Amino acid sequence: MDAWTGHDVPTLEGKAPLPRLYDSARREIAETAPGSTATMYVCGITPYDATHLGHAATMITFDLVNRAWRDAGLDVNYVQNVTDIDDPLLERAIRDGEDWVVLAMRETALFREDMEALRIIPPAHYVGAVESIPAIVEHVRELLDSGAAYTLDDGTGDVYYSVAAAPRFGYESNLARDEMITLSRERGGDPDREGKRDPLDPLLWRGARDGEPAWDGGGLGPGRPGWHIECTTIALGRLGETIDVQGGGNDLLYPHHECSAAHAETLTGRAPFASHYVHAGMIGLDGEKMSKSKGNLVFVSRLRGDGVDPMAVRLGLLADHYRGDREWTDEVLKTGEERLARWRSAAAAPAGPSGEGLVAAVREALTSDLDSPAALAVVDAWAEAALSGVGDDDQAPVLMARTVDALLGVRL
């Protein structure tokens, strides 16, 4: 599957320190320590609807990680998936009387357009679940052969992973068992299903059902993959047995990231799967989390269609720290638009304060767990000074524009 078109990312003089990021498993901020190539896997969309601001905020978060690593002199191998077969996609297609393949292709194409407009650096590998099914089948068979998985004795052909095969299960999310059962019930799991060895055991392979698409599962029988094993397979195949960052929204911490990491660790015998498990906060509207069930989604494509500059959207989402749940309001967008206009005016000023000082201060903010509010405040202060005629560095405005493009992804 093809990703979106990339753009040239300016390079800056010098080298930034490696970013320090909050790790959900350790519950602390720690320095990332990749080799010469940093590896990152970020969970992508299930393409049953257009890109909303929650998606955008998550992708911008990990775009900052990508940019910070590049600024530290590293190559980055970034992988993102597309869950182009899953229950929500099929349910939406049935609701709208549409072919699920057509729906997935259309919404994936729209997502690409939105990511390009927001200047998200594209992943090196953009991989769909459907194209990964042969590899997923092999991994499910490995888990069965090792005793880490089992087939339900009810004639469905459904295969489950046994959490008993993961002695540290729960280390990533740090949740109590009753909390995990509750979240599993809310987030696509089936803890109440009869015949499972443990309520927390996640689905690996769903046997074929009438009216549903199915693929050859070899010895598994026809069916389709579970959600968590999809990401495990794609990450292991493109990044190796351990990775530097596994990322996504904080609603993926459990069960999705917990289960996908457990699958990987059982398959490889190596733990932890990721050095950092990094999670972005949710975006709310009028005091509630944006969700399809509430019908309160704000779509990036709709904002673009209304003539909103994607860079103002990006600035609006950068105005608060990535780990916190935050609100999207008309005022947030207005502030983003005003900031963008002010920065563009400052970039066109004849001179300004030291450009080197600006670069150092923005780098310092972003390497401290992606402190984008602090980075924006640094640029705001520089812009105010430049527009007030302070400073005589005639190269500073150009360097300011390159800095916010390279590190914040905002093109002036």
Residues 324-349 have pLDDT tens digits of: 999 999 999 999 999 999 999 999 99
Q: How far, in Å, CA of 355 to CA of 396, rounded?
A: 4
Nearest in space to 407 (alpha carbons), one of 349, 348, 367, 380: 367
**Looking at the chain, how many residues does it have?**
412
Name the token pair of 56: 């955008």
pTM of the model: 0.97
Residue 326 three-state SS: strand
Query: Can you tell me the mean pLDDT for 36-49?
Result: 96
Q: What angle do CA 212, 217, 218 make, to 5 degrees?
A: 145
Residue 320 three-state SS: coil
Residue 128 three-state SS: strand
Q: How far, in Å, CA of 347 to CA of 403, rounded?
A: 11
Phi/psi for 280 (5° steps) reads -90, 150
296 — pLDDT class (breaks 50, 70, 90): confident
Radius of gyration over every alpha carbon of the chain, rounded to an integer in angstroms: 22
Residues 113-142 have pLDDT tens digits of: 999 999 999 999 999 999 999 999 999 999
The helix (run of H) or strand (run of E) holding residue 333 is: helix 330-347
What is the DSSP secondary structure assignment for residue 123, as one 8-state letter? Answer: P
Residue pair 289/249 in contact by the 8 Å Cβ criterion: no
Name the token pair of 400: 């300011």
Exposed/middle/buried for residue 116 (C-beta within 10 Å: 0-12, 13-18, 19+)? middle
Query: Does position 380 have pLDDT exceeding 70, yes or no?
Result: yes
